[in-house]
Amino acid sequence: MINKVLIANRGEIALRVIRTCHEMGLKTVAVYSTADRDALHVRFADEAVCIGPPASKESYLRPDRLIAAAEVTGADAIHPGYGFLSENAEFSDICADHNIKFIGPTGHTISLMGDKSLAKTTMTKANVPTVPGSKGIVQSVDEGMALAREIGYPVLAKAKAGGGGKGMRIIHEPSEFEKNFVSAQTEAAAAFGNGDVYLEKFILKPRHVEIQLLGDGKGTVIHFGERECSIQRRHQKLVEESPSPIITPELREKMGQAAIRGAEAVNYEGAGTVEFLVDADMNFYFIEMNTRIQVEHPVTEEVTDCDLIEYQVRVAMGETIRKRSIPMEGHSIECRINAEDPYKNFSPSPGMITTFHPPGGHGVRLDTHAYAGYYIPPYYDSMIGKLIVRSRTRELAINKMKRALNEFVIEGVKTTIPFHKQLMDNPDFQAGNFDTHFLDSFDLKPEKELN
């Protein structure tokens, strides 16, 4: 049984987890760095413990301090949120060693899925479609060139310890194989301390579609449909929606059952997401599995009417899942509101929020830790909130998002709101006609031309 949950995170996700814990009658413990003394998660939790100075490495990324905070407050579980230690296998194991329930998968599952090449092999064995490519790590340039000729150019070299685009190189033809393959290895070694690389056929103009899962660690996994996540910039998602405008009920079930097969093969426990690429012919291929709750989980919550944080806590308490299909209804879109200047290459814009007028009304949800007078510290990521809408159809949801964006006033820092307003007005976005390269050619108009 879980009575008290320590939230090893900050910002909107810390608040999000605290809210559900309180609804479930659970006590909460916030942790904070000295830069977050005045943050809302500190005020809304039942207790709060300072775990160090502003730098994440000295605070939110310190297992020893988090465990000490849990022990002195008597917390019996830790929710890691996303980012920070949420996909750190060692931290999951450390929690277990201290008799504190890590709300998420075992260290073994986290490290299995963290090895992107081993994860792919695991999925192939479970009969989940994967991108044609090497069987595991490619040991030499000669081996790689022979393989690339079989696979057919262009190919993609990917780091086994990668994810999020680091240590990834496109190779268009044999003459550039050695240079690009070695630079993927070098970048991977520098970023992850491991230079192992595998090869895949490069899928042209793919969509990024992911399936939300929940497993009970006792053999049962269910899915909550898909999220469309193709609207991204430099591997940072900016807008997500559910359902995907291109996925039919038949394809959803095929992708959902494939994702379930993969997760059941590892006896998955907790919330997880299987990422697929969907090509122009609607073939889908597994690329990665994320073993955490994701930033964009609210769009799934809106169309399934499920509280995914509640489900994470319940499976962590040992509840079993009843095998069932979760119905989806309506359409939900999320815009990430970042303290960034979209007119200056999305460069960070930390500082004091002087005016904060949140949107509201029917079908509008704002997950944020920001308020008027809140100072956005420069030490962490720049997301200050997520604006989520829900309506009956995609067209109505876009319409509602435009209305909500127009109501939203933030002064003192630059935000991504002007970008989102223009995206919602884009005919290709409105038609559902986009892929992962859409933002490469998206031209932001000057603000003064808008009205």
Question: Interface with ligand MV4 by CB under 6 A: which residues?
Answer: 131, 156, 163-165, 200-203, 206, 208, 232, 235, 277, 287-288, 436
292 is catalytic: yes
Rounded distance between C-alpha atoms, residue 41 and residue 46, angstroms? 10
Instruction: Compare residues 14 and 123 and give the one whose CB is closer to ligand MV4.
Output: 123
Q: Which of 292, 336, 365, 394 is catalytic?
A: 292
> What DSSP string describes 76-110?
-EEE--SSTTTT-HHHHHHHHHTT-EESS--HHHH
Closest approach, Cβ 323 to ligand MV4, in A, equals: 29
- Burial of residue 395 (number of CB atoms within 10 Å: 0-12, 13-18, 19+): exposed
What one-letter code names the amino acid at 15?
L
Instruction: Compare residues 6 and 131 and give the one whose CB is closer to ligand MV4.
Output: 131
Closest approach, Cβ 164 to ligand MV4, in A, equals: 6
Closest approach, Cβ 136 to ligand MV4, in A, equals: 15
The alpha carbon of residue 159 and the mean position of all alpha carbons in its chain are separated, in whole angstroms, by 19
Closest approach, Cβ 162 to ligand MV4, in A, equals: 7
Instruction: Compare residues 45 and 131 and give the one whose CB is closer to ligand MV4.
Output: 131
Which two structure tokens, joined as six digits, stand for 339? 């303290």
Report the greatest alpha carbon distance in the chain. Answer: 63
Rounded distance between C-alpha atoms, residue 240 and residue 154, angstroms? 28
What does the buried/exposed string (b/e) look like for 171-200 if buried means 16 or more CB atoms within 10 Å of the residue's CB?
beeeeebeebbbebbebbbeebebbbbbbb
Instruction: Compare residues 8 and 203 and give the one whose CB is closer to ligand MV4.
Output: 203
Instruction: Compare residues 200 and 240 and give the one whose CB is closer to ligand MV4.
Output: 200
Closest approach, Cβ 134 to ligand MV4, in A, equals: 11
Place of tokens 């990668």: 162
Quote the Cα angle for 158-161-165, to 5°: 50
Closest approach, Cβ 235 to ligand MV4, in A, equals: 5
Which two structure tokens, joined as six digits, stand for 179? 């240079």
Task: At 397, give phi and psi (nearest 5°).
Answer: -65, -40
Closest approach, Cβ 435 to ligand MV4, in A, equals: 9
Rounded distance between C-alpha atoms, residue 396 and residue 399, angstroms? 5
| C-alpha separations of 158 from 14, 169, 180, 229, 239 in Å | 32, 7, 11, 20, 25
Closest approach, Cβ 242 to ligand MV4, in A, equals: 16
Rounded distance between C-alpha atoms, residue 95 and residue 101, angstroms? 6
DSSP single-letter state for residue 440 = G
Evaluate whether 238 touches 424 at the Cβ level (below 8 Å). Answer: no
| C-alpha separations of 20 from 17, 27, 334, 366 in Å | 5, 11, 20, 15
Rounded distance between C-alpha atoms, residue 5 and residue 17, angstroms? 9
Instruction: Compare residues 208 and 336 and give the one whose CB is closer to ligand MV4.
Output: 208
Closest approach, Cβ 93 to ligand MV4, in A, equals: 25
Instruction: Compare residues 227 and 394 and give the one whose CB is closer to ligand MV4.
Output: 227
What one-letter code names the amino acid at 414?
K
Instruction: Compare residues 165 and 361 and give the one whose CB is closer to ligand MV4.
Output: 165
SS3 351: strand
Instruction: Compare residues 120 and 365 and give the one whose CB is closer to ligand MV4.
Output: 120
Rounded distance between C-alpha atoms, residue 256 and residue 121, angstroms? 19
Which are the catalytic amino acids?
292
